[in-house]
Structure 1
Amino acid sequence: MPGVRREGLSATLRGVKLYADRVPVALRQLVTDILVVIWVYLWIKVALWIHDVVEKLAVPGQKLESAGSGIADNLADAGGKVGRVPLVGDELTQPFNGAADAARSIADAGHQQQEFVAQLALILPALALSVPLALVLFLWLPLRLRWVRRAGVAAAVRADPAGQDLLALRALASQPLTELAKLGPDIAQSWRAGDPDAVAALAGLELRRLGLRRR
C-alpha cells in the first residue's frame, strides 16, 4: 500500500504543470505571479501600517486612565487620613470620596477608549485587506488553478494518440471558428474520419492555446 501511494503521488506531481512551455506565455505567467505576490505583500504592509496608526489613538486613553487612577488613589488616601480626625472625620471624607469616584469614572472612560481603539485596530486593517485578497482569491487564483489543471492534463496526454484525439475534440468545442477555419474548411469532417493530420493539427491548436508544445 505505501508503494501504491507513492506511485500515485508521483503521478499527481508529474501531472502538475505550473508554467507553460512556450516562453512568452510562461514569462507572462511568471510576471503575473510575481505581481500578485507583490500586490498581496504591499496590502499586508498597508494593513500593518493602519494597525500601528490606529493603535496610537489609544495613547490619550492610556494617559487618561493613568491620571484618573492616580488622582483617585491620592484622593482616597487623603480621605482616609482626614477620616481619622475625631468627631468630624466622616463628614470631611465625603468630598474626598466623591472626588475619588469621579476620578475613577475618568479612568474607566480612558480604559473604554483603549478597548474601542483596540477593536478598531483589528477591524480597519481587516477591511483594508478584504478587497485585495478577495480579488486574488476569487478572480486570479481560480483562473490560475484552472489553467494548471487543464495544462497538467493536456501535458500528460499529448504524447498518446487517444489523448491527442481528446485534445482535438476539445479544440473543436472551444476554439474560435476563425482559428478552426485556418486549418481548412473540412477540418471537422477530417477529424471525424480519423485523419491523423487533422487530429494532430487540432491537438496542436489546443496545446498552443494552453502555451504548451507538442511532444
Structure 2
Amino acid sequence: MVLYSDYAPARTRQIVADVIAGAVAALAIALAAAVAGAIRALGAFGRDLEAAGLDFQSGLTDAADSLGGIPLIGDGIRGPFDLAAGAGGSVAEAGRQQQAFVELIAATTGWLIALLPLTVLALVWLLPRIRFAVRKRRLRAMIAAGMTADTLAARAVARAPLRQLVAVHPDPAAAWRSNDPALVRALAGVELRRAGIAADALP
C-alpha cells in the first residue's frame, strides 16, 4: 500500500500516528462545536429581548389602532401609542443585533479553535504523510521503468543520513565506487527503506 511503509516497525509508527492525528482532529472539531454552541446559548437574551420588543410593539400598535378609530380625538390619542410602539421596535432591533453579534463571536471562536490545531496537524502530520506516499509511488514507478541498484545507491549516498550509510560501509562513497554488487545493493536498500519500499522490489 502506497500510504504505508513495507517495513513493519515504520508501518506501525505510521498507523499509530494516523490514529492519533484522527483523534486530535475529531477532538478539535468537537471542542470547537461545543464552544460555539455554548456561546450561541448567550443569544437567548437577544431572542427574549426581540420577542419582548415585538410583543410590546404589537400590543401598543393594536391599542393605537383601536383608539385611533374614536371620532374627533382618535388621531390625537394614538400619537403617544405610536411613539411607544416605535420604542418597542427599537428594543426588538437591539435584540436582533445582540443575536447577530453573538453568532459572529460563536462562529469566529469555533473556527479559530478548530483551525489552529488542524493547521498544526496538517504541517506536522498530513504534509509528511503526503510526501511519503508521493515519494514511494514515484520510486516504485522508477524501479518498474528500469531504475537500477547503482542509481538507487547513488541517490542514497547523496541524500541519506550519514548514520544510515556508515551502517553499510565506513566509507559509503568508496563502497558505491567499488561497484561491489553486494555493497551497491546494500546502499540501494538504504534508499528503498527511506521510501518505505521492501528490498525485494528491486530486481
TM-score range, shorter chain: 0.7 to 0.9
Shift of the 74–206 alpha-carbon distance from structure 1 to 2, 3 Å rule, reads same
Q: Match for residue 110 of structure 2?
A: 125
Q: 2:126 aligned to 138, 141, 153, which one?
A: 141
Q: Match for residue 22 of structure 1?
A: 7
Q: Match for residue 3 of structure 1?
A: none
**After alignment, is 149-158 or 99-108 more displaced?**
149-158
Distance 1:61 1:115 in 2: 9
Counterpart secondary structure, 1:76: helix
- Counterpart mapping for 1:40-189 below 5 A: 40-156=25-141, 162-189=147-174
Distance 2:100 2:2 in 1: 49
The 8 Å contact of residues 169 and 175 in structure 2, kept in 1 or not, is answered as no
Q: What is the letter of the counterpart of residue 181 of structure 1?
A: V
Identity %: 38
Distance 1:93 1:59 in 2: 33
Q: Match for residue 24 of structure 2?
A: 39
The 8 Å contact of residues 158 and 214 in structure 1, kept in 2 or not, is answered as no
Render the CA deviation track for 1:138-171: whole Å, top value 9, x for unaligned. Answer: 3321111111122233445568874322221121
Counterpart secondary structure, 2:35: helix
User: Is 2:202 aligned against 1:214?
Assistant: no
Q: 1:189, CA displacement in angstroms?
A: 2.7
Q: Which runs of 5+ in 1 are unaligned?
A: 1-15
Counterpart secondary structure, 2:199: coil
**After alignment, is 181-190 or 170-179 more displaced?**
181-190
Q: 2:186 aligned to 201, 209, 212, which one?
A: 201
Q: 1:30, CA displacement in angstroms?
A: 0.3
Distance 2:34 2:166 in 1: 56
Query: After TM superposition, which residue ranges in structure 1, 4 or more long, deviate above 4 angstroms?
Result: 155-161
Distance 2:69 2:18 in 1: 77
Q: 1:212, CA displacement in angstroms?
A: 3.6
Shift of the 94–186 alpha-carbon distance from structure 1 to 2, 3 Å rule, reads closer
The count of aligned residue pairs is 200
**After alignment, is 161-170 or 26-35 more displaced?**
161-170
Distance 1:185 1:44 in 2: 50
Q: Which runs of 5+ in 2 are unaligned?
A: none
Render the CA deviation track for 1:108-148: whole Å, top value 9, x for unaligned. Answer: 11111112222223211111111111112233211111111
